[in-house]
Every structure is written in C-alpha cells, then in structure tokens.
Structure 1
Amino acid sequence: MKNKIGLWDLVFMNVSALFGIRWIAKSTASSFGLGLGAIPVWVIFTFIFFVPIALICAELAATYPRDGGLYEWVKEAYGDKQGFMVSWLNWTAKIFWYTSFLTFLMVNVSYAIGQPALAENKIFVMAASLVIFWILSVISTKGMAFGKIFTNIGALGSTVPTILLIAMAFISVLIFGHKPASVYTVQTIMPKMDVNSFAAISSVMFALAGAETTANFVTEMDNPKKNFPKAILIAAAFVAGLYVLGSIAITLVLPTDKITASQGVLVALSQVAANLGIGSWFIKLVALGISLSILGSIILYIASPIKMLFGSVNKGIFSKSFTEVNEHNIPTKAVYLQAAIVTVILLATSLLPSVDTIYNVLVTMTALTALFPYVLLLTSYIRLRKTRPNEERPYEISKKNSRAVNIAYVVLVVVSLGIVLSATPVMPSLKENIIYEVEMIGGALIVIFSGIAIWNNFVKRTGFKQDKDKLIL
C-alpha cells in the first residue's frame, strides 16, 4: 500500500495529539491553574499517569493491531456493550474539546494577523471557529495518510514556539540579566491545597491524555507492532520535557497572576521578545505556528473518535447513513453531524461573558468527561492480562503479569482521583457552586445514561446478545 504512515509520521502525529502549548499557560495561571505548583505536578503526573498510559496503549496496539483503538481493546476484554460505551464517552468528550481548542485557535489567529484585540471579540471568535471547523471536517474525511501532512506541520507549529519560549526566557534571565518574574523555592513551587488546584490537576491529566488516539489508524501504519510502541515512547519523552521546561520558562517571564489561560503564552513571548529587542513580527510568526499546530491536532481528533464510534461499533446502533464509510474508511456523514453539534455548542457558549471564561469553562467540562474512557481502558487491560497471561504480546510493559497489572491498578486510582477532582467546586458563592456542580456532574450523567439508552434501544430492536463470559454484571 502506498502512502503508509511511517515511524516519524507517527511521532509527529503523537506529538500533535499529546502536546498542546496552551496547557503551559492554563496550568501556571493563578486563576484556574496551579501557579508555580504546575512545575512539580507536570513531573509527578508524567510518571504516574502519562508514561504508564502510553506504555499500556502501546502494548494493546501491538497486541491487537486493528483499527478502533479504545473500542477494540475494551471490546476484546468485556464485549460489544462496553466497547460501544468507551467509544461513546470518548467521542462526547471530544465534542467539548473541539470548542475549547477552536477558541484557543482564534486567539492565536488574532495575534498572527496583528490584531490581538480580536481575541476578545466573541463574535469574531465564534464565527471564525465555525468556518474553520467545517473546513477541517471536510479535510479529515480524506483519511490520515493525507491528514498526516497537517499533523506533521502541526507538531512543529506547537513545539518550535515552546522551544523558543524556553530558550528566550533563559537567555533573557541568565545572559541579559532581566529579573525573573517568579521566585523558585520549595515553598513557592509546592501546589496549594485549595479547590482551584484540585480542579486544575484534572486539566493537567487531560493535557497528558491522548496516547490512544493514533491507534485508530493502526491499519494505515507501516509495521505497527514495532513502530507504534517506539513512536509512543519517543513522543512521551519529548512532550513531558516540553511541559516541564515550558512551565518554568513562562513563569520566568510573567508572574502567575498575570498569566491568562487563553493568551498567556503569546503575552509571555511578547514580553521576552521585547526584552531581547525583537520586533512585533516575531509574535505574528509564532502565533501562525501555533495556529498550524492547532489545525493539525483538530484534524487528527475529528477523524479518530468518529472513526471509532461510527466506523467500528456494531452495525445497527446508528443509522446506516452515518456508519457508511468512504474510500478512506471514514464515516463522512457522521463527521458532518459532529460539525453540526459543535456549531450548536459554539453558539450556546457565546452567551458567556468573555473569551477567557468560555475557554476555561469548556476546558473544565472536557477534563471531567475525557477521563471516563480511561477507567474502561485500564480495567480492560487488567482483565486481558489476568485472563490471557500467555497471549503473544510483541511489546509489553512487563514480562510479569502481576507487575503489569499492579501498574495498571495504580494508574486506575490516579484516573479515579482525577475524575473526582475535576468536579471540585471552584465558584465564589454557594449558589454558583450548586449551578456549576449540576452542570458538571449532571452533564456527565446525561452523557453516560444517553449512551446506555442508545445501546439498550439497539438490543431491543435487533435482539443482539453479548457473550456471557464478557458481560459486566
């Protein structure tokens, strides 16, 4: 097959999926973030969440090299119903992710065209987001052998500005002698044990999530049993280093109370560029690069969850018109249905008071629902390891089943903690907190029970019966 996805294509795709420069500002902002406490939190969660999840996904993809990713792995362990539910949860989480990411994209586009004031214009952000998302949806229907062009460029567009921020911040302070904006001591970098910090930790975990995404294109890969695990490990090391060093760099330039989630990185780069005597053209160029990185990530995430949910699950759950795939194995009409849903969400969130508020609310909502699929992923991995100890695994995190299972149990506890923390009340008054919790928890419950209702309706209509040995009682 021509136009296969090679090792470095995989690395770039994983970097596009796993690394987002926006999280550097989001995590270090005093509002909705951890401040300097983000630095040790990135290190800790890299090792207790990011790396083990990446290794588990690498093992599962190498053992079951089929399109479908999370769906295939959970189905392998528990059967069709749970396979559908993990696909449903993964897709619904991405619906809110698109809208938050599009908001961040338009902030960068505003800087790239030299009109940063547009970043605060809700009408511009909403209208431009809709146009771009529909265009990217059309592009995503061409398959990832074509889409890798955008993810390769996108990976560079995100990582290069981060490397520049790191290098310029340290040069400004260490060589040119500019005073650091923050003081780093054991006391100042310790995360504060308050509700804002608890909620922000779930966002850090969400930022480190995504290792399973490229597994949905495993049949388009060149030598997946070897290249997928290798690409995951290369990308994991690279991404973790960028998050930690990027957090240090941005807080060298700006005090944490001056960092905003949506514009913090660009403001920091503007400041350090001014310190080094670099003109405004630099920020326009960087903003353009970040915009390209976002485009690459959105294309990857548009196709992947859709392909898993509408292209892999049991026939008959959804209308045939939404499950029919094109020559690139992408369910085209489902992609357009998704674009219509994102349009509705964008129109609804435009009622919120500011662009930064819209961005933070959408990110928080995404973090809650995005961690649910990992519960099913980890319990499936544990079950497969326990029930199939002698299965051939071309790549495995440990030869000993007991050790691999224990690692998965630790990560399962971490994920469960992240779900609880993401629902932490963070609003200033009791009334606002009640509304916030109803929206957060109520929204998550609606998503879960709507998925169960869709499945039960499918069973009622078709009489489908799942293997008894795979039922969860």
Structure 2
Amino acid sequence: MNNLENNRHYISWPVLALMAFVTVIGFDDIIYNFKNQGMGVITSWILMLFLYVIPYSLMVGQLGSIFNKEGGGLSSWIRGTNGEFLGYFTAWTYWAASIPYVVDTANSVVIGLGWAIKGSGKFQDTMSNGQFALWTLLVFVVFITIQSRFKRSLELLSSIGGIAMFGMTVLFVIMAFASLKMGGHIATQPMNLSAIIPKFDLKYLTTLGLLIYAVNGCELIAPFVTKMKNPRHEFPKSMLMLVVMTAFLTIFGSFSLGIFFDAHHLPNDLKMNGSYYAFQALGQQYHVGNLFMYLFAWTEVTYLAALLAVLLDAMTRMLISDTGKKYMPLFLRKTNQAGLPINGYLLTCLLSGFILFLGIFLPEMNDVFNWLLNLNGIISPGVTCWIFYAFMRVRKNPEEYPSEYVFIKNDKLAWWAGFWALAITIVATVFGIAPQDVAEFSAIWWHELIINIVAIIVLVGSGAILPLITKREKKYGSAFSKVQCFAMILFTITALVLSVIVGSTKLAERNLVVAGVVACGVIAVWLVGRRKP
C-alpha cells in the first residue's frame, strides 16, 4: 500500500492554479466589462477578487473534496445534499446555461474569421442578422459533424489555444505599458483616482452579472482537489496563485485598455470587435501594422473553434450521462453505432436555433452580439447559485460531509460566507435581466427585456418538461409518434425560415412575430402532450 501511495501521481498546486486560471478569465472578459464600466471596472475587479473570487474558489475546493467519488460535478453536489430530482434539475440548468455560451462562441468564430481573413470588421458589417444567424448555424453543423472524428486533437488544440490566448493577453499588457516609455500617451483623461471609482447606481447593478460570468468556472477543477498530495495546505496556495494571476490580468489589463481607448467615449461595437481594435492599436503604436491583430485573430479562431467542438460534445454527454434514466427520456439517451447521442445534439441545435431566433429581430448585428453576451451574464450567474446553496447545506450538517479540505473551520461563519456569495449572485442575476448597451426604456430596451425573460423561461422550463416526456415513454412505450415528431420538426423549420424572411421588418412587427411563434410553439407542445403517441 505504501509503495502504491509513493508511486501515485499528484497534481502540484501551481499546476492546479494554471488549470483553474484557463477556465476563469480571458482577454475578452476584460474587454466586455471595460465597455460596461470604463476605468471604474478596476475597482470592481479588486472588490470582486477579494469579496467573491477567493471565497468562491475555496468553497468549490471543499465541495470537490467531499464529493470526490462522484467526480466532483455540480449536479453531484446538489444530488448529495438535496436529492435526485434537484440533482437532475441542476444538471439541466448547468447544461442550459451552456446554450447561450456556445451560441456566443459560434458567433465569435464567425467574427474572428472575418478579422483573420479581411483584416477588419467589414465582413460582419456587410451581413444582415439573418445571414449572421445562418452562418452561426452552419458553424454548429460543421463542428457537430467533425467533433467525433477529431475530438482528441481538438481537445489538445483548445488547451494549446488557451495557453496561447493567455500569452497574447500578457503580451498586450506588457507592451501597452512599454509603449508609454516610448512616448505613448494615455487616451483616457483625466487619469486619476476618481477615474477608477465606478458610479454605484442601478446601471452598475445590471453589469454585475457579466463580472461574475467572467470569473466563474472554477468548479471545473473541483475533481482535482483530492489528487493533490496535501489538499489542506496546497489548495489554498493554488487559489492564492489564481487570484494573483487574475488580479494582474484584470487590473493591469483594464488599465492597458485605458491607454489605447478613451474610457469616456468607447466605440459602440467594443464588445464585439474590441479585442481586435486593441491589438490593432498596439501594432500601430509599434509601427508593425496589423501584425498583432492577425496573430490574435488566428489565435482566437483556433481556440474558439476547438473549444466549440469540445463543448458541443462534452455538454451533451454530461447532461445525458449524469441525469440517469429516471428523468431523461429514452430518445435523448439513444446513441448511434459510434456511441454518439445524436438526438442530444439535435436538442442542442434546436435550443441554440431558438436563441438565435430570439435575437435575429434586433436592429443590428452588434445588438445581437451584445444581447447574447449579456444573456450569459444572466444565465451563468444563476447557475452558480447552486454552488453556494450546496455549500450552505454542507456546512449546516458538517458531520454528514467529512472533507480533507475545509474552508473556514467555524461552521456558522462558513455558512454566512456561503449566504453572502449566494446573495450577491442572486442580486447580479436578477438585475442582469435588465437590458444593457441600449437606451433605457426605449423600444429596443423593452424588446430585449421580453426576449431575456422568454429565453430564461424556455431554457430553464424545458428541464421541467423532460421528466413528463419520460413518463409518457414509460406509459405508452414512446413519447411521440412519427407524425408528432414530423410536426414539431416542421414547426421548428418554419419558425427559423420565417425569422429570416421578416428580419428586415420594423421592431414592432418583429415583436409580434416573436410573440406569435412562441405562442404557436406553446400551443403545439400542449396539443402534442394531450395526445397519445
């Protein structure tokens, strides 16, 4: 036994910190929040790191240590503390939260290709919203097709791309500061203490969700906590290293953006094209043209393309394999000869197409991109709430959940720390529903508010429908007949085609179309549900 223990391969704390870092922050996250808060985001990052990221990551460490035999997944944490059904529903919401993310990633692939090939944003400027949606759907089809054949190489490629992306971000920060010594000037003026203090108002609260979206994902490294030689002492070191790296990237990265962009007058399309603008400005400062921009664009495309292919496979397999037979319909658990859950992929494409359908009626492609991004700032923090809820349950009954690593020895104090993180995340989720990047209470504002609510209801509510479908399967032998399946597929195709046709109509007419299609969908589901297969 001692020999086996000596030969066991342990993960060192610096390696775990690097693994966590890749899942937590990226250059685009800095751009998005810089657009929302300007230079004031520097203070927000500091507050977020000390009041949220540190306790969040340490809570994840304890949960991962407790449920290490179940793989340390979020759904297993909830299943272990609250029962089977809530565990299933957590798995569903975690999967549903990935839908806007993969759609946003597919959009970013299309935009990145435009910059990598054209060297500017002209490619997407010439497209209508309908064409943008069709390109995005094409990206989905391509990567769902190829991921099964090249999965291992794409996973390796995504890891290499992630490290390269981190390297490009560090390069940008270092060269931005170096440019000041070469006679460069800071675009944001005045650059003083008041410039980095955000205005704490209602608009600020609506941007918290995107901050949390930027720093969450730490739960993905939870299964590796028990693979450390001494988790009690080494895991806090990993999280401290993670916080230091994140602080460097967010604080100095935001300041570097203030060197090239006037934080008081930012481009309207900064969230969509800001990363490319930044490296373009860096190249101009060093008199190398678009060299840095092209390097970043191809790095971005390579990383996002590989990440998208892996995500489309991993998220579908995770949902189907993690929820079991009790709540997941048989037709979704079916696999082909290659072991691929084809119907699960179709469900992913269906809900992704629905999200695209909601956004296609916005005035411009930049509005579509911003809306999809902000939707992530609602759904993703909402799912993160499960983490803190599970932690509070664990610390309320600590004797039932022994752990090698414990965050805060005092159970009452630990419970209140979990409640603090949960309350902040709920506030960010609720206020995140209010639209951003558009004039308050304008027609577009109300339109985005409606589709935000519709998207949340459909993505989360679909998880409550699947157990009912499973009951139909058990009762009738199959959930739907071939005629019913054909009717639903026909409805889906009709809705997508209709969205492209009316994409150029006025906003009021688009709202009516959205409401009509959603109403027809609800009626169709109700009618199908009432009839035997």
Q: What range is the shorter-chain TM-score in?
A: 0.7 to 0.9
**Conserved 8 A contact 1:157-1:292:** no
Equivalent residue for 1:72, pick from 53, 58, 76: 76
Q: Give 2:100's aligned residue.
A: 96
Q: Which amino acid aligns with 1:422?
A: G
Determine the structure 1 residue equivalent to 2:256.
Answer: 249
CA–CA distance in structure 2, aligned partners of residues 107 and 444 of structure 1: 26
Segment drifting more, 129-138 vs 358-367: 129-138
Shift of 1:12: 5.7
Cα contact 1:317–1:454 (8 A) shared by 2 = yes
Look up the equivalent residue of 2:383 and give its one-letter code: P
1:128-159 per-position Cα deviation (integer Å, ceiling 9, x unaligned): 43343334335655798665402311212321
* Distance in 2 of aligned mates of 1:454 and 1:423: 25
CA distance in 2, matches of 1:48, 1:341: 35
Match of 1:47 in 2: 50
Worse overlay, 391-400 or 76-85 = 391-400
1:281 matched to 2:287? The reply is no
Residues 75 and 90, structure 2, Cα contact 8 Å, conserved in 1? yes
Equivalent residue, structure 2, for 1:413: 423
Deviations, residues 64-94 of structure 1 (Å, cap 9, x unaligned): 1224711100010101111122112122221
Unaligned runs of 5+ in 1: 464-473
CA–CA distance in structure 1, aligned partners of residues 401 and 369 of structure 2: 45
Aligned to 2:266: 258
1:107 aligns with 2:114: no
Q: Structure 1 residues 300, 205: CA separation in 2 closer, same or farther (over 3 Å shift)? A: farther
Q: Which has the higher contact order (CA 8 A, sep 6+)?
A: 1
Tell me if structure 2 keeps the 8 A contact 1:423–1:440. Answer: yes
Q: How has the CA–CA distance of structure 1 residues 205 and 176 changed in structure 2, closer, same or farther, with 3 Å as cutoff?
A: same
Q: Is residue 437 of structure 1 aligned with residue 449 of structure 2?
A: yes
Pick closer, same or farther for the CA change 1:404–1:324 going to 2, 3 Å: farther
- Say if 1:54 and 1:236, in contact at 8 Å, map to a contact too: no
CA RMSD after TM alignment: 3.4
Matching residue of 1:311: 321
Structure 2 distance, partners of 1:140, 1:241, is 35
Normalised to the residue count of structure 2, the TM-score between the two structures is: 0.75
Is the partner of 2:118 in helix, strand or coil?
A: coil
Matched-pair identity in %: 18
Distance, in Å, in 1 between the alignment partners of 2:292 and 2:258 is 20
Match of 2:478 in 1: none
The 5-angstrom pairing of residues 424-463 of structure 1 reads: 424=434, 426=436, 427-429=439-441, 431-455=443-467, 458=470
- Kindly tell me the number of residue pairs found equivalent between the two proteins: 453
Corresponding residue for residue 469 of structure 1: none
- Cα–Cα, structure 1 residues 37 and 326, in superposed 2: closer, same or farther, change >3 Å? farther
Letter in 1 for 2:199: K
Cα deviations by residue, 1:88-139 (Å, 9 ceiling, x for unpaired): 2122221112222222232222222234211324366544433433343356
Q: Helix, strand or coil for the counterpart of 1:34?
A: helix
Partner of 2:414: 404
TM-score normalised by L of structure 1: 0.84
Query: Shift of the alpha carbon at 1:278?
Result: 1.6
Structure 2 CA distance for aligned equivalents of residues 385 and 303 of structure 1: 34
Q: CA deviation at 1:6?
A: 6.6
Q: Quick one: structure 1 residues 132 and 240, their matched pair in 2 at CA, closer, same or farther if it must change by over 3 Å? A: farther
Does residue 18 (structure 1) correspond to residue 18 (structure 2)? The answer is: no
- Correspondent of 1:190 among 171, 183, 197: 197
Aligned to 1:466: none
Distance change in 2, residues 1:191/1:209 (3 Å): same
More off after superposition, 93-102 vs 340-349: 340-349
**Residues 378-434 of structure 1 deviation map (CA, whole Å, 9 limit, x = unaligned):** 112111222233633122223332332222111011101111220235543355444
Q: Tell me if structure 2 keeps the 8 A contact 1:56–1:397.
A: yes
Report the CA distance between 1:442 and its aligned residue.
Answer: 4.1
For residues 224 and 144 of structure 1, the distance between their equivalents in structure 2, rounded to whole angstroms, comes to: 28
Q: Supply the distance in 2 between the matched residues of 1:425 and 1:126 (Cα, whole angstroms).
A: 21
Could you tell me how far apart the structure 1 residues matched to 2:64 and 2:151 are?
A: 17
C-alpha spacing 1:275/1:233, structure 2 compared with 1 (3 Å): same
- Cα offset for 1:362? 0.6
